[in-house]
Structure 1
Amino acid sequence: MKLPTIDSDYLISVLLKLLSTPSPSGYTDRVVHLVCEELERLRVPFELTRRGAIRATLNGAVSQPDRAIVAHVDTLGAMVKGLKDNGRLRLVPVGHWNSRFAEGARGTLFMDIGQMRGTILPLKASGHTFASEIDNQPGGWDHVEFRIDAVVHNLKDLLRLGVHVGDFIAIDTTPEVTETGFINSRHLDDKAGAAVLLTAIEAIKRLELPLAVDCHPLFTISEEVGSGASAALHQDVAEMLTIDNGTTAPGQNSSEFGVTISMADQTGPFDYHLTHRIIQLCQEFQIPHQRDVFRYYRSDSAAAVEAGNDVRTALVTFGIDASHGYERIHIDALESLARLVSVYMQSPPVYARDRYDMGPRTGFPTQPG
């Protein structure tokens, strides 16, 4: 195994492409085409599920027990819940996020035919009119509305424009990369993870690094609404590494630097042996890392296991500040993750016995104790 050089310019470039492509859960076709075009450019074969999850293949020395590495390309967003008499739109969230992060956000309304720009505002938005009432009004999705940038005064005008209940709204990401290496944007969860996975693939292909077993990069399209990697796995995949965000906040051990390895989330512990293999690789290749446990968090790993896949899962993350809000990460974490993922791609399987769906006790591991 070799620790490859990471093309940081490529990483940032592909991340900005992903961030500029709207993809709230349920409206992901555009970003699926973008990732497919990038895989074609890298000469990596892939196939799509019916709804658009992407399963690519990097051939290894043997085909079993093969592995998967997954990131999701769907994001948070909103949907039209109702058309209001004042010409504004009532909203519900797509995915789980707080309306306080939506207030003031610019976004694009996707209608059956055409699209319109607009802004999410609290019901009382004018300081010159409502003064202190703005600060005292309730929060929540029932207390915000979408203002369309069109001549719209009433329900009839909305119907004339062709607005319907169920239309999607994608929130602008407004990314900024600072000279200090910080990246500020909405939807870094998990566009940054997808960029890391593509960057690791680029390094493997550019340096022609051999893989021990077949590896399947996966790009899922419904993680933010819970189903994630439930339908994109080959049944013979024995181990799956998920790339997602780690929460840097009081009481957490995540960091915006290095790799944050999750030991457990709200669905329970991750696979002991695969997780410790990841820790071992970080130690062997001197990749800075830390461990954390996430209390209010689930990922593609949970979706895969809950769907009945008998697969070892682990979760590696980039530390993110203000997750599901206006997020911030550091390039150091993305580069560290890309190095780890590219080394993991080259590594032998955790256990050769895992090539069997069912097998004897011989070769089954034992945890220390």
Structure 2
Amino acid sequence: MNQRESTVNLLNQLLSIPSPSGNTSEVITFVEKYLSKYNIQTKRNHKGGLIATILGENKNKHRMLTAHVDTLGAMVKEIKANGRLKLDLIGGFTYNSIEGEYCLIETSNDKKYTGTILMHQTSVHVYKDAGKAERNQTNMEVRIDAKVTNADEVRALGIEVGDFVSFDPRTEITSTGFIKSRHLDDKASVAILLELIKEISVENITIPYTTHFLISNNEEIGYGGNSNIPPETVEYVAVDMGAIGDGQSTDEYTVSICVKDASGPYHLQLRNHFVKLAKEHEIEYKLDIYPYYGSDASAAIRSGHDIIHGLIGPGIDSSHAYERTHMTSIENTRKLLYHYIQSEMVD
């Protein structure tokens, strides 16, 4: 299996595991077991994230790289009288982006039920305003794949308020190299980091600085990477999606280097270091500003850590909806990280 096939296979496995923020133990266990095959030292933090550490030649100055395995999702807000569920969203996305999506309801006693997220007024044969009604919490509901017609019958299944609802990723890999799926934000980056860790281990690569890899599990709600940062850490790099849209330079084929997001500018010297490495190693990249965006690195800065922070990642189209990227973007991101962790720190 070549590196591209290995990355796609790993990404497929990650995407198949439901992991909305707040319910990530299964996917963290998967990552933990994956890293154990390569004798990588790991530990869980109290929030449930996973930290892997590879010792470097310099143990006084550390690096930290992070990618988040938690995804957008929802919780059961209310069991409606008609036997359907009202949702409360987890993460920043719009209701119209999940209309018609298949979903999974996980109960507190480990039962699982499938369903579909629909407008209450879906049938055009019944509701005159089916196309015009607002897509919001009031009008959208989950149709459970079970014979239920009222709230009591739903509760008899074990479904209650607070149960997690995850969205079907609908992953597809095209012959032209595109990856279409929900939750490429940020499981594409997690797959890249895991493959990088594997490469360091298998090829017995010596890195100049002790490096920690945080697989965070609360990024979508703002605080995944703001703690458990060793005091020796000097450089902290979030590996997360590059946002694509009008006015953006990021695309689906290059590595996106963020210069600024909603939290403010990222560290100039580290950004320039990424650009220098990209040019030296003929890695295709784009510089960009993400206007409505925050990362684990910006969360770490906000929480008071004295670090140099950066943000890079693959370009992801239609972020927080049905997303898409291309293998070349993943490969360019991996190459930049590969050379970065073997480089000297910025001044």
Q: Secondary structure at the match of 2:241?
A: strand
Task: Pick from 325, 331, 334 the counterpart of residue 329 of structure 1.
Answer: 325
- Aligned pairs (5 A) from 1:162-311: 162-311=158-307
Query: How many residues matched?
Result: 345
Task: Pick from 119, 122, 137 the counterpart of residue 122 of structure 1.
Answer: 119
Distance (Å, rounded) in 1 between the aligned partners of 2:73 and 2:195: 26
Distance (Å, rounded) in 2 between the aligned partners of 1:143 and 1:185: 25
Alpha carbons 1:53, 1:232 under 8 Å: kept: no
Give structure 1 regions of 4+ aligned residues with deviation exceeding 2 angstroms.
127-130
Alpha carbons 1:54, 1:232 under 8 Å: kept: no
Distance (Å, rounded) in 2 between the aligned partners of 1:347 and 1:73: 26
TM-score by length of 2: 0.97
2:155 corresponds to which residue? 159
2:28 corresponds to which residue? 32
Distance (Å, rounded) in 2 between the aligned partners of 1:272 and 1:145: 46
Alpha carbons 2:35, 2:198 under 8 Å: kept: no
Residues 163-189 of structure 1, C-alpha deviations (whole Å, 9 max, x = no match): 111110011101000000000000000
Task: Pick from 17, 20, 36 the counterpart of residue 21 of structure 1.
Answer: 17
Distance (Å, rounded) in 1 between the aligned partners of 2:63 and 2:308: 9
Distance (Å, rounded) in 2 between the aligned partners of 1:210 and 1:46: 18
Give me the CA root mean square deviation: 1.1
Alpha carbons 2:65, 2:239 under 8 Å: kept: yes
Q: Secondary structure at the match of 1:17?
A: helix
Over the matched positions of the two proteins, sequence identity in percent amounts to 36
- Work out whether 1:100 is the aligned partner of 2:96: yes
Distance (Å, rounded) in 2 between the aligned partners of 1:59 and 1:340: 20
Distance (Å, rounded) in 2 between the aligned partners of 1:9 and 1:237: 33
Residues 207-252 of structure 1, C-alpha deviations (whole Å, 9 max, x = no match): 2221011011110000000002012311221111111111111111
How much has 1:58 moved relative to structure 2?
1.0
1:360 corresponds to which residue? none
Distance (Å, rounded) in 2 between the aligned partners of 1:273 and 1:56: 26
How much has 1:339 moved relative to structure 2?
1.0
Q: Secondary structure at the match of 1:142?
A: coil
Distance (Å, rounded) in 2 between the aligned partners of 1:317 and 1:342: 13
1:85 corresponds to which residue? 81
Q: Secondary structure at the match of 1:133?
A: coil
Distance (Å, rounded) in 2 between the aligned partners of 1:133 and 1:119: 20
Give 5+ residue unaligned stretches, structure 2. none
Distance (Å, rounded) in 2 between the aligned partners of 1:241 and 1:290: 17
Distance (Å, rounded) in 1 between the aligned partners of 2:80 and 2:219: 31
AA at the equivalent of 1:202: K
Residues 38-92 of structure 1, C-alpha deviations (whole Å, 9 max, x = no match): 1111221111102211111111111121101110000000111111100011111
Q: Secondary structure at the match of 1:141?
A: coil
Q: Secondary structure at the match of 2:108?
A: coil
Distance (Å, rounded) in 1 between the aligned partners of 2:200 and 2:272: 23
Residues 268-303 of structure 1, C-alpha deviations (whole Å, 9 max, x = no match): 000111111111111111111110001000110111
Alpha carbons 1:175, 1:184 under 8 Å: kept: yes
How much has 1:142 moved relative to structure 2?
2.4
Alpha carbons 2:75, 2:89 under 8 Å: kept: yes
Distance (Å, rounded) in 2 between the aligned partners of 1:225 and 1:346: 32
TM-score by length of 1: 0.92
2:53 corresponds to which residue? 57
Distance (Å, rounded) in 2 between the aligned partners of 1:40 and 1:10: 17
Distance (Å, rounded) in 2 between the aligned partners of 1:146 and 1:309: 42
AA at the equivalent of 1:217: F
1:143 corresponds to which residue? 139
Give 5+ residue unaligned stretches, structure 1. 1-5, 352-369
Q: Secondary structure at the match of 2:142?
A: strand
Alpha carbons 2:61, 2:234 under 8 Å: kept: yes
